[in-house]
Structures are given as structure tokens and as C-alpha cells.
Amino acid sequence: MTAENGDRRPVFRALTLPHLDALLSRAGLDRHDRLRARAVAEVLPFRTNSYVVDELIDWDRAPDDPIYRLVFPQPDMLPKADVDRIAALLAQGAPPARLLEEAREVRMRLNPHPGGQRVFNTPLMDGLPIEGMQHKYPETVLFFPRQGQTCHAYCTYCFRWPQFVGEPDLRMASGDATALREYVLAHPEVTSVLITGGDPLIMSSTVLARYVEPLLDVPHLESVRIGTKALSYWPHRVLTDPDSDDLLRLFERVVRSGRNLALMGHYSHPRELGTGAAERALRRVRETGAVVRCQAPLIRGVNDRAEDWADLWRKLVALGAVPYYMFVERDTGPQDYFAVPLARAYEIFREAYAQVSGLARTVRGPIMSATPGKVQVDGVTEVNGQRAFVLHYVQARDPELVGRPFFAAYDPDARWLTDLKPLAGDGALPGVD
């Protein structure tokens, strides 16, 4: 880096649909595949940025590069007939309204609200639903601030994709900091608030503070969590952005209030920790007294090798972060394309876990964040001559289920809780009707 570049403050530059074709060319895609990838991007959101493109993607390896696959639409990510139809419309120069109509129809078939999020988790106050909030597990409330429903780049597999495509019916967000505070105050069982999105760190520090600060005098609140991928997609957010220092001061105020501030960092691949900026960003956050805990889903073609997870967890621990969850890809959007079967996910997890020191074995996985709760696959065994998965709830809507082992019939192709069947002679799986 030249001195001039070193002195220059990196400025965030989003790359969106108008830039897509040129980037696909750079990855070496021919005209046919570029058209198909663009057709996918009519349905699922596309957004990346100059840092991801210049610092994280290895263009010599694209389109197979894992970080490329993390953010770029793939020509075969959606059912072929859908891609064909939209690609044909694009080739004919169909009007935007026609494309949108087609895209909508495909979106509605992609299970936009997995896990019954809307139906089961929206809390009530005075009998009325509070939008932009979810209260699924007694101790934790999720809050989706209205201004935080976008990200510095979009992951191709994102289960929050409906938040980004501008479909009013699919959005879940609130601008009401007062409702959040009042709800938490009225619910002494809530000890943790998780601010999520999108990415809350897309918001200015002032706006984020408006949501966080009113919580700091709620006596029973023990922790504030912020779910973010900014530390990997735009680490300059905590380094040199105009309001980076304000953000770090806000973190310090939460810590000084006697509460645990956890940045739930979404890290998918060790490459994301390979830049100086990413390392400095982690260090600066930790210097505020905040804890960085890390989680990501296991995604085919992005991070489906045990070595990558072991490498990721080791690097995170070396930088003072705490590995938290390895998730199973959720049953929404392009799940068919990215899913790794549970049996394989378990092997990858175990193989990675076996390679790291106890300091990294804080991680739990593979975890399905499903309708009744978070279910961990603990292994494969034999029960009365039948092959079986051993599982347990790490979190459950019904706390009675937490931590109790249970079995399901082994199925090498099962990808989600709803694919699993009880063992012969057993009743239904716990928590599943």
C-alpha cells in the first residue's frame, strides 16, 4: 500500500445490480451464464462492496472462490425453469414491472418466513402485536431496527433475504425504541436483547444509540447483543468511518453500565480474517470491553470443509473472539443449492472440533434454528439395532425440552428438522407436532 493510500480514509462503496455484469465477466462467466446469474439477482438481492471485491475475493479462483460464492448469484442457484423464464425476459428487454411480477412469484415459493417467525414469535403489548420484535425464548428478545435492515454486502444464502427485496409484506422492522424498552421493562424474564437485521452496524452510531441507550437502566437486563457482519464485510466501520469513534464510545457505555455487550460476529470463512483491517477491527472492538462471539451457517461451496472451520476458530481465538454457533442452512431461499445434509454437517463439525484447543470448543453445532427451537446434532449411534441421530435442544420455546437428548431415525439425506422421523416405536420428535 502506498503512503497516499495509507493516509486515505477508505470510503464505503456499494456495488449493486448495475455493476453485476462487469463483475461476472471478471469472474470469467460467459454471456449465457452471466444472463442466468442476472436472472437470479432479479429474485434474490445482490449487493457487495469495494472492500469485499478488492480485499476478500481471490479473483484468480472465481467463480469457485468461497468469498465470491458468498456474495455473487450463481446461474444455477434457483430452479432451472424459473431461471430460464426470467433470463428470457431479460434477454428480450422486458419492462421492469414484468420482471418484478415474475420475480415475486418465484419469491413466494421460496418459503420467505421459515421457522414460523411471524406467526409464533411476534410479541403482544396491550393485546396488539409489536412489529419488528420477536420473543421466542423467554430470556431473549430480538429487535429489528427499521434503519438496520440492510447489510454492507448480501450473502447469497441469507435467510433474511425477504427483508432486502423491498416486499412490504415480507418485512419485519420497527422504529420504536420506546416500545422495545417498555416491553423489556414489563418482562422481567428478559435478560438479553439481541439487536439484529440486516446489520445494525449499517446504522449511524447516533441512530443505534437511540435504540440501545434507553435499555441501559432496565434493572434486569444483563446483556445487549448486536448481530453483525460488518467486522468481515466492512471492518472500517469500527476503524475509520466518520462515526467509528462514536460507535466505540457507545460500546464502552454499555459495558460501563455493568452489562455484557456481545457483538455476534458473522464470520463464514478464515479468509475474512486475513486482512489487516479485519484484525484491527476485532482488536478495537475488544478494547471497548465488548465480547465478540462468532457464528455462521455451514454452506456448500463456501465453508464445507472441516479445515476451514478449524482454521477459522483458531484465528478467532487467537484474536480474542469466542466461537459460538455453527448453523445449518435454513429451509428458505436457495436452500436446495447451499444445503449440506445433517449427517455430513455433523462430520464436518466433529472433524473441525477435534482439531482445535478447548478454548475454541465453546462452539456448538451443527445447529438448526427451527420452529420449536435450536436443535443440535450430537452424533450418530445405534438404538435397538436402528441407526439414529442423537440430538438435543440448545434453546426451545418450551424450556422443558432444553438439554434433553432425543433420537431420530438416521437419514443420510435429511437436511432439516422437518425431514427427520422418529425411531420405529417412538412417538413424535419432542417439540414437533
Ligand X SMILES: *Cc1c(COP(=O)(O)O)cnc(C)c1O
Binding site for ligand SF4 (CB under 6 A): 151, 154-155, 158, 160, 197-199, 229, 266
Burial 185-223 (b: 16+ CB within 10 A, else e): bebeebbbbbbbbbbbbbbebebbbebbebbeebeebeb
Closest separation between CB of residue 90 and ligand SF4, Å?
A: 23
Query: Is residue 376 a contact residue for ligand X (CB under 6 A)?
Result: no
Cell 433420537: give the residue: 407
| Cα 309 from chain centre | 16
Residues sharing a CB contact under 8 Å with residue 282, sequence separation 6 or more, in sequence order: 231, 265, 273, 292, 319, 320, 321
- Residue 395 touches which of ligand SF4, ligand X, none (Cβ within 5-8 Å per kind): ligand X
137 vs 144, beta carbon nearer ligand X: 137
- Residue 374 touches which of ligand X, ligand SF4, none (Cβ within 5-8 Å per kind): ligand X
- Residue 369 touches which of ligand X, ligand SF4, none (Cβ within 5-8 Å per kind): ligand X
48 vs 335, beta carbon nearer ligand X: 335
Out of 62, 142, 298, 420, point to the residue binding ligand X (CB under 6 A).
142
Out of 48, 49, 74, 134, point to the residue binding ligand X (CB under 6 A).
134
Residues sharing a CB contact under 8 Å with residue 154, sequence separation 6 or more, in sequence order: 45, 46, 47, 48, 71, 161, 164
Stretch binding ligand X (CB under 6 A), from 4-12, 85-93, 132-140, 206-214:
132-140
23 vs 262, beta carbon nearer ligand X: 262
Query: Is residue 160 a contact residue for ligand X (CB under 6 A)?
Result: no
Query: Is residue 137 a contact residue for ligand X (CB under 6 A)?
Result: yes
Closest separation between CB of residue 44 and ligand SF4, Å?
A: 10
DSSP states of 331-368: SSTTHHHH---HHHHHHHHHHHHTTS-GGGTT-EEEEE
Pairing relationship of beta strands 48-49 and 14-15 according to DSSP bridges: antiparallel
Out of 50, 111, 122, 140, point to the residue binding ligand X (CB under 6 A).
140
Query: Is residue 49 a contact residue for ligand X (CB under 6 A)?
Result: no
- Residue 199 touches which of ligand X, ligand SF4, none (Cβ within 5-8 Å per kind): ligand SF4
Query: Is residue 374 a contact residue for ligand X (CB under 6 A)?
Result: yes
140 vs 240, beta carbon nearer ligand X: 140
Supply angle C-alpha 351, 368, 346, rounded to 5. 20
Closest separation between CB of residue 244 and ligand X, Å?
A: 27
Contact 279, 273 (CB under 8 A): yes
Query: Is residue 136 a contact residue for ligand X (CB under 6 A)?
Result: yes
- Residue 158 touches which of ligand SF4, ligand X, none (Cβ within 5-8 Å per kind): ligand SF4
Out of 369, 376, 408, 410, point to the residue binding ligand X (CB under 6 A).
369
- Residue 229 touches which of ligand X, ligand SF4, none (Cβ within 5-8 Å per kind): ligand SF4
Contact 17, 46 (CB under 8 A): yes
- Residue 136 touches which of ligand SF4, ligand X, none (Cβ within 5-8 Å per kind): ligand X
Closest separation between CB of residue 48 and ligand SF4, Å?
A: 10
Instruction: Indicate the helix (H) or strand (E) that contains 390.
Output: strand 386-396
Which amino acid belongs to residue 111? N
231 vs 408, beta carbon nearer ligand SF4: 231
Q: Please tell me whether residue 398 adopts helix, strand or coil conformation.
A: coil
Q: What is the Cα–Cα distance from 235 to 279, expressed in whole angstroms?
A: 9
- Residue 38 touches which of ligand SF4, ligand X, none (Cβ within 5-8 Å per kind): none
Query: Is residue 314 a contact residue for ligand X (CB under 6 A)?
Result: no
Q: What is the Cα–Cα distance from 191 to 222, expressed in whole angstroms?
A: 5
Contact 253, 293 (CB under 8 A): no
Provide the angle, in degrees to the nearest 10, between the axes of the packed helices 244-256 and 205-212.
20
- Residue 327 touches which of ligand X, ligand SF4, none (Cβ within 5-8 Å per kind): none
Which amino acid belongs to residue 92? Q
Q: What sign results for the dihedral spanned by CA atoms 127, 132, 136, 137?
A: negative
Extended beta strands in 127-198, E state: 128-129, 133-137, 140-143, 192-195
Closest separation between CB of residue 322 and ligand SF4, Å?
A: 19
Residue ranges binding ligand X (CB under 6 A) = 134, 136-137, 140, 142, 194, 369, 374, 394-395
